[in-house]
Amino acid sequence: MTQTSGTAMVLLTGKSNVEASVDGVLGGYGHVNDQDLKGSEAFLNSLLRDRLLRNRHLVALDCGSGIGRITKNLLIKHFNEIDLLEPVSHFLEAARETLATEIDVATDQHSAANFFCVPLQEFTPEIGRYDVIWVQWCIGHLADDDFVSFFKRAKTGLKPGGFFILKENIAKTGFVLDKEDRSITRSDLYFRQLFNQCGLHLYKVKDQTGLPDELFAVKMYALTVDKPRSTKKTVSKQHINLPGIIK
Ligand SMILES: C[S@@+](CC[C@H](N)C(=O)[O-])C[C@H]1O[C@@H](n2cnc3c(N)ncnc32)[C@H](O)[C@@H]1O
């Protein structure tokens, strides 16, 4: 069940010969940077509005951060502290250097705090530290069991009301394996089944638009630990309160 069309934006396995640049971490597709960040910012803003997180000290974790592209251009504007996790040391060092010199955006109130040089498989977050855990273009390096155990461990790292944002390439059906970089691209249905196994609830999902046609489709998922309140529930509650016949 694989698709033949759709080029994987290369998911890097940490080869030391990959240049520590936007083009390098995006597998030669550095030109999608602006469009990607635009889509991410709109999605994040809608979530921050919905979840009423605006007035608190906000902390994010940027998973598989590469050279800190997302932290530098997006997360640092919205979060007071950002931790970066990246297993490839020369990418993480590049991130550390860039973020240290980003004096325009990195202020006392907004800065990169911790740099973790480990893969997701070996990471357990501090309990209740994060409002948002951002996971973009790196989860394809985790097999299903590692995927599930990562999200189960990482749930404890979220504050009440916090959420995961997963932004990923999407296969049309089933999955696509890339033998060269040893990554898996999953379908939307496949992801949703994994979210269930992790005990996560899908709060919002949006397609990334405007990327080149030869690339896989990309979706953004917002996932919560608590079950989102549904309108249906409210309606059925109202029914319970309607006058009824006393038996
Ligand atoms: C395509 S790049 C994306 C980087 C960044 N998320 C971005 O969008 O700019 C994939 C990143 O995932 C990292 N990565 C690979 N295996 C990983 C793992 N097991 N855990 C965490 N990150 C991993 C790579 O080193 C690389 O920096």
Tokens of 8: 């994987």
d(CA 59, CA 105): 15
- 44, part of any domain: yes
CATH code, 84: 3.40.50.150
- 62, part of any domain: yes
- 73, part of any domain: yes
Q: Is the per-residue pLDDT at 151 higher than 50?
A: yes
Q: Is the per-residue pLDDT at 12 higher than 70?
A: no
**How do strand 217-224 and strand 183-186 relate by DSSP bridges?**
unpaired
**pLDDT value of position 230:** 64
Report the percentage of the chain scoring pLDDT > 70.
82
- 143, part of any domain: yes
Ligand 1 atom at shortest distance from the alpha carbon of 22: 9
Indicate left, alpha or beta for 107 from its phi (over 0: left) and psi (-120 to 50: alpha).
beta
- 168, part of any domain: yes
* Higher-pLDDT residue of 241, 216: 216
For ligand 1, atom 17: residue with the closest CA: 119
Closest CA to 139 of 90, 208, 194, 92: 194
207 - beta bridge partners? 219
Task: Identify the domain containing residue 155 by its residue range.
Answer: 22-224
**pLDDT value of position 68:** 97
How many domains does the structure of the chain reveal? Answer: 1
**pLDDT value of position 18:** 85
Ligand 1: list residues with CB < 6 Å. 11-14, 25, 64-66, 69-70, 86-88, 91, 119-121, 136-138, 141
Provide the mean pLDDT of the chain: 87
223 - beta bridge partners? 164, 202
- 229, part of any domain: no
* Higher-pLDDT residue of 234, 228: 228
Residue-wise pLDDT tens digits, 68-78: 999 999 999 99
3 is in an annotated binding site: no
Closest CA to 220 of 178, 190, 188: 188
**pLDDT value of position 50:** 83
Q: Is the per-residue pLDDT at 209 higher than 50?
A: yes
Q: Is the per-residue pLDDT at 3 higher than 60?
A: no
- 101, part of any domain: yes
d(CA 223, CA 142): 18
- 4, part of any domain: no
Give the lowest-confidence range in 42-46, 121-125, 228-232.
228-232
